[in-house]
C-alpha cells in the first residue's frame, strides 16, 4: 500500500491533528457565518461541483472552509480534484496519482486507483511520478478538509482522484473532457477545482492594472496597462482594487458564461489564475451536461492589499455549483 506523505504538513498547515482540528473549527465557524449571511446557511443542497484555493491555511483557510461547508456530501463516493501543475510542465497529457492513498493529519484518504487506471487507459491521461505528486500542493491542501468533513459519514470518506493539468491544446482539451464526461454524469461524484486567483506582482511576472472601471463590455487587453511605476496609478483605483475587479470579472464569467467566454477572458487579460485550465474543463463539462447553472461564489480575499508596484499578492475565492444529487 503506497501512501503519498503529507509533504506540506508542518509548514503550510499544522501536522498535529488536534491543533489542525482546532484551526479547522475556527475556519468552519467563520465560514458558516459567511454562508448564513450570503446563502442562508451552510451545506447547499446539490453542491457537488466546488472550487477553492490551495495556499497555506493562514492565508486561504477561511475560503477553503467555505468551499467545503457548502459541499453536499449526500451519497458521495469519490472526489475528482482538478488542479494545476506548479513544478513541472507537460503538454501531451493530464496526469493522475499512482499512490493508493493520501496522508492527512486526520487519517488517510484512499485514491480511487481503479478510476485512475481507467483514465490512463482512455489515452488522455498518464501517471504522475511520485516526486511530481509529492511536490505538488494543489491536491494536498484540499485533502485535510475532505477528510475532516467526511470522517464521520456512515459510509466513510470518499475516495479521491487527483488530476494534474499543465499545458493543454484543443485536442488534449477535447480528450480530457470526453474522458471525464461519464464520471461527471454520475451524481455520486464531486468535482473540486483547486485554484488560487490572481497572482500579482513582478515576482509572478504579472503587473496588469486597470486605469478605469470597465464598462458593460467588460475587460479587454486594451483596458490594461503593465504597471511599471506609481506615476501610472489612478488615485480612485488602488492596485488591490484593480486586482479585485479583474478577479470578479472572471468569477462573473464563471457564474454566467460558457467555457468559451472563460477562455476568451483568459486570453484577453492573461490573469494569472493558476487553475484556469481545470476551471475551463469543469465549465465545459457543465456546458456539455446541458444544465449549466454556473458557479455561485461565497467569499473572496487577497493575501495583502497591494498599493505599490513593488508589492505582490495572491487572491483566493470559494464557490460551488449546485446540481441534483441522487444516491447510486
9-65 per-position pLDDT tens digit: 999 999 999 999 999 999 999 999 988 887 777 778 999 999 999 999 999 999 999
* Residue that wins the pLDDT comparison between 220 and 285: 285
- Say if domain 3-201+273-322 classifies as CATH 3.40.830.10: yes
The whole-number pLDDT of residue 326 equals: 52
Cell numbers at 210, concatenated:
486597470
Question: Is the pTM of the predicted complex or chain greater than 0.85?
Answer: yes
Q: Region 132-156: what's the mean pLDDT?
A: 95
Which CA distances in Å does 305 have to 37, 213, 227? 24, 18, 16
Lowest mean pLDDT of 49-58, 191-200, 290-299, name the range: 290-299
Percentage of residues of the chain with pLDDT beyond 90: 84
Q: Region 61-90: what's the mean pLDDT?
A: 96
pLDDT at 190 over 90: yes
pLDDT at 327 over 80: no
What distance lies between CA 182 and its chain's CA centroid? 21
Residue 324 binned pLDDT confidence (cut-offs 50, 70, 90) = low
What length is written for the chain? 328
For residue 231, give every residue at least 6 positions away whose Cβ sits within 8 Å of its Cβ, in sequence order, or none: none
Are the C-beta atoms of 316 and 60 separated by less than 8 Å? Answer: yes
Dist CA 112 CA 308 (whole Å): 46
The whole-number pLDDT of residue 328 equals: 43
Residue 232 binned pLDDT confidence (cut-offs 50, 70, 90) = very high
Lowest mean pLDDT of 98-102, 274-278, 285-289, name the range: 285-289
CA atoms within a 13 Å half-sphere pointing along the CA-CB vector of 177: 21
Residue 92 binned pLDDT confidence (cut-offs 50, 70, 90) = very high
* Residue that wins the pLDDT comparison between 323 and 320: 320
Q: What is the DSSP letter of 206?
A: B
Are the C-beta atoms of 48 and 313 separated by less than 8 Å? Answer: no
Lowest mean pLDDT of 71-75, 211-215, 271-275, 313-317, name the range: 211-215
Dist CA 142 CA 145 (whole Å): 6
pLDDT at 134 over 90: yes
The whole-number pLDDT of residue 40 equals: 73
Mean model confidence pLDDT for the chain? 94
Is the torsion defined by CA of 282, 288, 289, 293 positive or negative? positive
Q: Inter-axis angle of helices 113-121 and 170-185, to 10 degrees?
A: 140
Amino acid at each position: 500500500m503506497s501512501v503519498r506523505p503529507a509533504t506540506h504538513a508542518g509548514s503550510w498547515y499544522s501536522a498535529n491533528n488536534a491543533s489542525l482540528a482546532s484551526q479547522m473549527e475556527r475556519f468552519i465557524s467563520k465560514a458558516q457565518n459567511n454562508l448564513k449571511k450570503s446563502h442562508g446557511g451552510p451545506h447547499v443542497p446539490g453542491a457537488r461541483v466546488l472550487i477553492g484555493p490551495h495556499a497555506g491555511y493562514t492565508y486561504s483557510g477561511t475560503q477553503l472552509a467555505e468551499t467545503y461547508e457548502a459541499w453536499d456530501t449526500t451519497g458521495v463516493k469519490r472526489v475528482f480534484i482538478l488542479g494545476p501543475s506548479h513544478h513541472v510542465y507537460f503538454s501531451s497529457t493530464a496526469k493522475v496519482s499512482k499512490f493508493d492513498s493520501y496522508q492527512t493529519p486526520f487519517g488517510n484518504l484512499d485514491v480511487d486507483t481503479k478510476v485512475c487506471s481507467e483514465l490512463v487507459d482512455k489515452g488522455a491521461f498518464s501517471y504522475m511520478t511520485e516526486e511530481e505528486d509529492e511536490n505538488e500542493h494543489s491536491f494536498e491542501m484540499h485533502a485535510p478538509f475532505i477528510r475532516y468533513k467526511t470522517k464521520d459519514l456512515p459510509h466513510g470518506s470518499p475516495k479521491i482522484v487527483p488530476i494534474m493539468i499543465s499545458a493543454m491544446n484543443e485536442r488534449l482539451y477535447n480528450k480530457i473532457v470526453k474522458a471525464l464526461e461519464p464520471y461527471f454524469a454520475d451524481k455520486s461524484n464531486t468535482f473540486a477545482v483547486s485554484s488560487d486567483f490572481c497572482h500579482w506582482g513582478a515576482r509572478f511576472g504579472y503587473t496588469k492594472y486597470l486605469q478605469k472601471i470597465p464598462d458593460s463590455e467588460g475587460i479587454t487587453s486594451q483596458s490594461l496597462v503593465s504597471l511599471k511605476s506609481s506615476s501610472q496609478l489612478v488615485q480612485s483605483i488602488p492596485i488591490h482594487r484593480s486586482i479585485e475587479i479583474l478577479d470578479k470579472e472572471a468569477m462573473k464569467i464563471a457564474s454566467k458564461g460558457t467555457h468559451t467566454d472563460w477562455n476568451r477572458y483568459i486570453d484577453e487579460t492573461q490573469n494569472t489564475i493558476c487553475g484556469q485550465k481545470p476551471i475551463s474543463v469543469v465549465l465545459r463539462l457543465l456546458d456539455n451536461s446541458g444544465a449549466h447553472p454556473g458557479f455561485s461564489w461565497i467569499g473572496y480575499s487577497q493575501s495583502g492589499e497591494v498599493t505599490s508596484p513593488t508589492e505582490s499578492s495572491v487572491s483566493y475565492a470559494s464557490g460551488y455549483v449546485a446540481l441534483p444529487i441522487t444516491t447510486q
